[in-house]
Amino acid sequence: MSQDNILLACSDIFVRFGGVLALSGVSFEAGKNAITALIGPNGAGKTTLLNVITGMITQNKGGIEFKSKDISDMPAHIRSREGMVRTFQNLEVFAHMNVLENVMTGAYNRYQYSVLDSIFKTPGYFRQEKQCRQAALDKLKFVGLEKEWDHPALDLPYGRQRLLELARAICGEPELILLDEPAAGLNSRETRALGEVIASIRQDLGITVVLVEHDMELVMSISDEITVLNFGQVIAKGSPREIQNNPEVIEAYLGSEE
Ligand SMILES: Nc1ncnc2c1ncn2[C@@H]1O[C@H](COP(=O)(O)OP(=O)(O)OP(=O)(O)O)[C@@H](O)[C@H]1O
Ligand SMILES: [Mg+2]
């Protein structure tokens, strides 16, 4: 990949938790406007790498560049303002809010009215509130949830809550979205539908995607590039076809099933 086409680059990342070396010299790149999958057996270090990229934990060693800028020491909220957003392995929707309100929370980076604006309900407050609402409705439509906009979020079936999570993530109009096992708990029909939404997040919204996922059918069907982690180390990088036929990758997965 040429330097110009890289949106995110992690180099030689080490993370240690007590006696566990969770990441050991990991280098990982995500190409601009590509879908890059990060796969590997349980405990391989995938979530840890997302945590390092988004600034939720600090690496013991190594550097991260986003948009050619060194973000290695940047706090998480600044990274998010720079244009990255993530979802979590365990689905999290705000239980006391309806579907639309959940999505609106994803746009907090872009609409900034002060506490005084909201107390005194200034014209600026109403204008931004309206824009934010419209942006959220657009995103609901994008994932196919617009009819349920006023349902309590927890009333949605699990598969629809996963789509809600995606709508919320794109509501801040990020440049990079990092998804941690978005298909976990979905049946195969729901997984295919989710795959279409992820593909169109890249295709129609131009957002770069990093996809951590165990569902190999989904990974192989929508990824441009795949990086494979095993025991905290990168064991392979390549196209879906290359990865599928890589003996070391097959070995890592078979070994992990024993
Ligand atoms: N906060 C933590 N404290 C101690 N050890 C941790 C912590 N987070 C992760 N680990 C360990 O680091 C290693 C990598 O974990 P990680 O959650 O990144 O794996 P993963 O690839 O996301 O796995 P899975 O597919 O099961 O989600 C594991 O051995 C895990 O037990
Ligand atoms: Mg994980």
pLDDT tens-digit profile of 166-196?
999 999 999 999 999 999 999 999 999 999 9
Same domain flag for 180 and 75: yes
Write down which residue in 112, 144, 173 finishes a domain.
173
Asked if residue 233 and residue 187 are part of one domain, the reply reads: yes
- Give distance in angstroms: CA of 5 to centre of ligand 2: 27
Beta-carbon neighbours within 5 Å of ion ligand 2: 46-47, 89
> Quick one: 143 and 190 in the same domain?
no
Alpha-helical (H) ranges within the chain are 46-54, 76-82, 99-104, 115-120, 123-143, 158-171, 188-203, 216-222, 240-244, 247-257
Q: How many domains does the chain have?
A: 2
> Ligand 1 pocket by C-beta < 6 Å: which residues?
17, 20, 22, 40, 42-48, 89
How confident is the model over 229-252, as pLDDT tens digits?
Answer: 999 999 999 999 999 999 999 988
88: in domain: no
Express each pLDDT in 195-229 by its tens digit.
999 999 999 999 999 999 999 999 999 999 999 99
Distance 20 CA to ligand 2 centre (A): 15
Check whether residue 11 and residue 138 sit in a common domain: no
- Answer yes or no: is 232 within a domain: yes
Residue 145 sits in the same domain as residue 213: no
112 and 239 co-located in one domain: no
- 120-156 pLDDT, tens per residue? 777 777 788 888 899 999 999 999 999 999 999 999 9
Nearest Cα to 197, choosing from 225, 237, 169? 169
Same domain, residue pair 213 and 97: no
Question: Of 111, 138, 173, which residue sits at a domain end?
Answer: 173
Q: Are 125 and 228 found together in one domain?
A: no
Strands 69-70 and 225-230: unpaired
Is the model's pLDDT at 253 over the cut of 90? no
For residue 21, report the distance from its CA to the centre of ligand 1, in Å: 10
10 and 72 belong to one structural domain:
yes
68 with 185, same domain? yes
For the cut 90, the answer to whether the pLDDT of residue 3 exceeds it is no
Could you tell me the pTM of the whole model? Answer: 0.93
- What is the CATH classification number for the domain harbouring 187? 3.40.50.300
Q: What are the two backbone dihedrals, phi and then psi, of residue 192, each rounded to the nearest 5 degrees? A: -65, -45
Query: Do 181 and 213 belong together in one domain?
Result: yes
